[in-house]
Amino acid sequence: MDISIFESLRTVVLLIAFLAIVIWAWRKKRKGAFDEAARLPLEEDRPPPPPRNIEMNEFVSEYWTWYISIPTILGIIGCYVLVLWMSTKKGGEEEVKTMGHVWDGTLEELDNPLPNWWRWMFYISLIFGAVYLVLYPGLGSFSGVLNWTSTGQYDEEVQVANQKYGPIFARYAAQDIEVISKDPGALAIGQRMFINYCSTCHGSDAGGGPGFPSLSDNSWLYGGTPQAIKTSILNGRKGAMPPMGAALGGDEGIAQVAAYVASLSGREADPDLVAAGKAKFAICAGCHMPDGKGNQALGAPNLTDDAWLYGASLGTIKKTIADGRNGVMPAHQDFLGEDKSHLIAAYIYSLSNKP
């Protein structure tokens, strides 16, 4: 058979194979799998995530395994065939064929096979790819013979770090928070951890922001004793200020109580509104106390000082009263553990208890 017919045949076969894969993937039944994936329940409806370090099997159906594996393997084989094809001399003739392109009168493009070093670079990448896909997860739900997972590697690294640094934290954990809060070495570690784990919400200077309390002043929602701070970190906190608009009889009542709240921290407000608001403040007193100084057992803020969790403006105060607020401090017990939380608590304590 003429070699050029053979070559054309090969190209046609490869093309048909490619088209067949595309059509196979888009058949009605296959497309159904796409649709099924699109209709997956949203995040909040999903059952809780399975424990970490499981095998990689989170594909919604077997279909995806094949959808990934078959084109990947065919791709590697296809590349191999292509390199092989590009490496053989065409027609076995002594004379190298020219492609028929000529520049500057003498510069001809020849149909030489690839140079060896180049060919071997292709072969090495192909071998690398094949070995990689056998050892590591890459082909759908096949987890690779090494059983490597990124979560597994992460857990291992955490374990190594815990072994290395654990004793340092354990040494500090044995000391009182008040004592550590005067130890510059401990505070440097505490600050670094604070910046890593807490600054996204509380600010890198712990100064807080709207909805996120400042941890550097001496005004506390839940208390500023070493134990209270540590409890906040370990167990988290949930603020529960109910919407009071209805109980106050709508906008007028809200405006009156808001004026009274503003007057508590010494700000000017309409005396008539303040007087009316003072009478209605009784329904707030159960949490904020009759004098408005708050209750740390409930996390009800002191309304008589200059520190505001959500903002000092009359508009913000009205909004808080009308709609309520529910600030959440996440629990860090499982994530950081007791010893690290102890050290961070000492850093927080040091901010408002300078020696």
Residue 35 is inside which H or E element, if any?
helix 28-38
DSSP 92: G
CB of 287 to ligand HEC, least distance (A): 3
- Select 63 or 281, whichever has its Cβ closest to ligand HEC: 281
Residues binding ligand HEC (CB under 6 A): 197-198, 200-202, 211-213, 215, 220-222, 229, 232-233, 237, 239-242, 244, 248, 257, 261, 283-284, 286-288, 298-301, 303, 308-310, 317, 320-321, 325-330, 332, 344, 348
The DSSP H or E segment spanning 12 is helix 3-25
Q: What is the nearest approach in angstroms of ligand HEC to the Cβ of residue 272?
A: 17
The pair of three-digit structure tokens given for residue 291, joined into one six-digit string: 């004098």
Pick between residue 67 and residue 237 the one whose CB is nearest to ligand HEC.
Answer: 237
Q: What minimum distance in Å lies between the beta carbon of 193 and ligand HEC?
A: 7
Q: Are 84 and 14 in contact (CB under 8 A)?
A: no
User: Which residue's CB is nearer to ligand HEC, number 172 or number 202?
Assistant: 202
- In the bound state with ligand HEC, the residue whose beta carbon lies nearer, of 32 and 271, is 271
Burial degree of 85 (CB within 10 A; 0-12, 13-18, 19+) = middle
Q: How far is the CB of 42 from ligand HEC (least distance, A)?
A: 21
Residue closer to ligand HEC (CB basis): 149 or 320: 320
CB count, 10 Å around CB of 248? 21
Q: How many CA atoms lie within 13 A of 194 on its CB side?
A: 25
* 3-state DSSP of 118-166: HHHHHHHHHHHHHHHHHHCCCCCCCCCCCCCCHHHHHHHHHHHHHHHHH
User: For ligand HEC, which is the closer residue by CB, 83 or 254?
Assistant: 254
Phi, psi at 212, each rounded to 5°: -120, 110
Cβ of residue 215: shortest distance to ligand HEC, in angstroms?
5
For the bound state, the minimum distance from the C-beta of residue 65 to ligand HEC, rounded and expressed in Å, comes to 37
